[in-house]
Amino acid sequence: MIMPMIKNHEKLRCMATGMEIDDDGLVFHNRAIEEPSLLRTIYLNKKLNINHHPGLYQYSDWLPIRRILQGSSLPSTYRSTKLASYLGLSKLHITFNGYWKERNADMTTGTFKECEAYTVCSRFPWELGKTLVVASAGNTARAYMKVCSENQLPLVLVVPNKLLTRLWSTTRVNHCVKVISADGDCDYSDAIKLSDLISTMDGFQNSGGTRNVAKRDGLGVTVLSAISMMGEIPDYYYQAIGSGAGAIAAYEANLRLVESGDYRYKMMKLHLSQNIPFTPIADAWKQRIRTVDIEEEHAKYQIGKICAKVLSNRNPPYGLAGGLYDALTKSEGNVFSVTNREIKEACALFEKLEGCDILPESGAAVAALIKNINSGSVAKQSSILLNITGGGYKNIKGDFGINRIKPDVSIGRQQFATDLMYKKIQALIEKE
């Protein structure tokens, strides 16, 4: 079920110091420095060779993986006619991550997080006998659940109780996957804290989040596959953000394509969006400051009022070396704020014109594009890549049906780091 393959990289580069570090599959940061910094993969092949492996592993030359897993799919990129015509655009390409048979899109979790999950799980050193721990607001959990269930890999998912409705599967989930609910009023950041605590226990390993090069390089496949189809690097790249990991990934993929020499030098401008009132990155970027102090402004950033709930990371990799601030600066990008109403209208417009439903976070990207075009801040003749990060829920429900997933155990915030919490986790695993 798990097939070995030749390793395509050996080193990771620290973006703060330039230091090269050996990759053992679990390195997330440069332990030699105090200041946090992202790492970046150094690939043996500087040219991108599209090979004959299945799904996203066609891009394995630029994925930090140790093995190939079963069941992956690629995003589907196409040139828009109807939405493009509506907006008066001459070169709008849409890369669709979800389930849409008419567009050969086969991600049955309905999200581009599948690209992340397959890559992270392909890098992870399972031979150590550890259980992978992942925190999620819903989309990421579905993706990891699919990958680990189908490939029988031990996984603990931590999801806020109020977002459990986003946790579903089209198939029966293997018992190797355990779901923990962060109970009460816990949000995504609480789920991250809980996953960090669980990862301190023997036999567990945190996925590393955005610090994991496999997460970002996996998400970068969206851009690699799109630009391979387009034949050029676009002028603008549109995506909604929670942590900004996908946007950093897009920027890093852009860099590699330029460095390969196969494309004319161009840095596509990252045009990112957040859902009002949760706009900490947009606010920080407007001031051109590296610090995002969400705790201090918690009363302002009311997560409960946004419709795109997954866009609610309170600890984004924004100011650290190699993070989102650097990507925005070097790409001459921008971050826009969109309302719930604008998102819902954008979702309805996309479904009407393009023919497939999309998730609210995808609607946030469409809404930002519409605002920019209507304001004249982006020329209509520009080459634009619109990343629809999730969609096709209606298609999935119609073709497969939806199985709601119940948590195996619930842990409230008051139980974090207590003996009761550790006993609950231990008991959950000992059931096996």
Per-residue pLDDT of 7-20, as tens digits, reads: 778 899 999 999 99
User: Would you say residue 4 lies in a domain?
Assistant: no
Specify the pLDDT at position 188.
Answer: 86
pLDDT confidence of residue 3: 52
Overall domain count for the chain: 2
Residue 339 lies in a domain: yes
- Asked if residue 379 belongs to a domain, the reply is yes
Look at residue 306 in the predicted model and tell me its pLDDT: 96
CB neighbour list of residue 320: distance below 8 Å, 6 or more residues apart: 16, 35, 36, 37, 38
Q: Quick one: pLDDT at residue 386?
A: 98
Residues 84 and 151 in one domain: no
pLDDT at 294 over 80: no
Q: Degrees (nearest 5) of the Cα angle 176, 182, 188? A: 100
Q: What band does 1 get if pLDDT is binned at 50, 70 and 90?
A: very low
| Chain mean pLDDT for the chain | 94
Mean pLDDT of 311-323: 93
Summarize the confidence of residues 35-47 as an average pLDDT.
93
- Do 356 and 221 share a structural domain? yes
- Considering the domain boundaries, does residue 362 fall inside one? yes
Mean pLDDT of 17-26: 94
Backbone angles phi, psi at 155, to 5 degrees: -145, 140
Indicate whether 22 belongs to any domain.
Answer: no
Residue 143 shares a structural domain with residue 96: no
Q: Is the dihedral of CA 139, 145, 147, 153 positive or negative?
A: positive
Q: Is residue 118 part of a domain?
A: no
Q: What is the mean pLDDT of residues 375-390?
A: 98
- Same domain, yes or no: 138 and 102: no
Element (H, E) at 336: strand 334-338
Is the separation of the CB atoms in 375 and 158 below 8 Å? no
Specify whether 430 is located in the same domain as 339: no
* Residues 273 and 414 both lie in one domain: no
Question: Where does the pLDDT of residue 4 fall: very low under 50, low under 70, confident under 90, or very high at 90 and above?
Answer: low
Based on the fold, state whether residues 264 and 371 are members of the same structural domain.
yes
Whether the model pTM is above 0.85: yes
Instruction: Show the domain range for 188.
Output: 125-206+402-432
**Residues 294 and 364 grouped into a single domain:** yes
Give CA angle at 347 (309, 361), nearest 5°: 30
Same domain, 162 and 293: no
Residue 290 sits in the same domain as residue 328: yes
Residue 200 lies in a domain: yes
Mean pLDDT of 340-363: 98
Same domain, 306 and 165: no
> CATH code at 148?
3.40.50.1100
Residue 23 is assigned to a structural domain of this protein: no
pLDDT tens sequence across 95-117: 999 999 999 999 999 999 999 99
Q: Are residues 335 and 410 in the same domain?
A: no
